[in-house]
Amino acid sequence: MFIIIAAAACAVLSCPSVAITKAKLAGVLVVIDPGHGGLDDGASGVVNGNRVVEDEHVYDTALRVRDMIVRDGGKVVLTIVDPRQSRPINNPAGKWLTDGNDEQINGRGCKPLKGGSSCLRSRLDVAKRAIKDHRGKVVWISIHFDVVGNDKVTGVRIITPEGRTPQVAEDIRYMFAKAKRCRAHGPIAFSGDKRYGLRRLYVLGSRNPIRDRILIELGNFKAPEDLWRIRDPKVRDGYAACIVNGLIKWSARS
């Protein structure tokens, strides 16, 4: 037996109607912050002379995370939304998602969406509104794909607030290490947002109102193998499953 979420509820969550099978994440609110968006493409790589951008691929991954969380009974708020894309896109093998500038802040503020501190403040405002009346567990997950480094730096990185590693980071790291489809990607969790610039300071620093917050780097556009992975919708599905299974493990703790 399953329950279909009503369309009105999905409008609030920025999600299509999906079937809830088991309420493993009941009472959990996840604020998903897809990296960059709009006029800010983030990192990029080149395939066959064409530019492949970060923001489109992390947004698509965020939608996969959203759908899985909702299926498991959790609530989701996206800090940004794309009116032209409400569902994940399963692009053909070897292709990539087309760059667009349609992403915008979910709610109000920062139009057009671009880089800089003003848009980061608007993202945090989305979280503040979302958690205002929520009484259960809350977690912030910012999804990126632009590890700083050369082409030798590959795999998943989980970045946590300076001097503190939330349990949710450990549980998600465990799932990445355990799952066959993610294990080879070498996930590492570490603290230290100060070395990672303005975005990390906003997402992981004291300005963020959510205690349990992490930033996940799913790879490195400078590394050819990572650039290949993020273009594969099956890999993006695998990344999403590892994140959500980590959330379930974290939620089950007393």
Confidence band, pLDDT 50/70/90 cuts, at residue 151: confident
The residue whose two tokens read 């503190």 is 164
Instruction: In whole angstroms, give the CA distance from residue 226 to residue 213.
Output: 24
Rounded to an integer, the average pLDDT of 101-123 is 92
Q: Which pLDDT score is estimated for 2?
A: 32
Summarised one tens digit per residue, pLDDT across range 30-55 is 999 999 999 999 999 999 999 999 99
Is the pLDDT at 139 greater than 50? The verdict is yes
Task: Give the chain's radius of gyration (CA, Å).
Answer: 17
Domains of the chain: 24-252 (3.40.630.40)
Confidence band, pLDDT 50/70/90 cuts, at residue 7: very low
Residue pair 95/77 in contact (Cβ under 8 Å)? The answer is no
Q: How many angstroms separate the Cα of 97 from the Cα of each of 8, 80, 174? A: 29, 17, 29
Is the pLDDT at 177 greater than 90? The verdict is no
Is the pLDDT at 209 greater than 60? The verdict is yes
Q: Which pLDDT score is estimated for 185?
A: 56
Handedness of CA 161, 38, 34, 72 (dihedral sign): positive
Whole-model pTM: value is 0.90
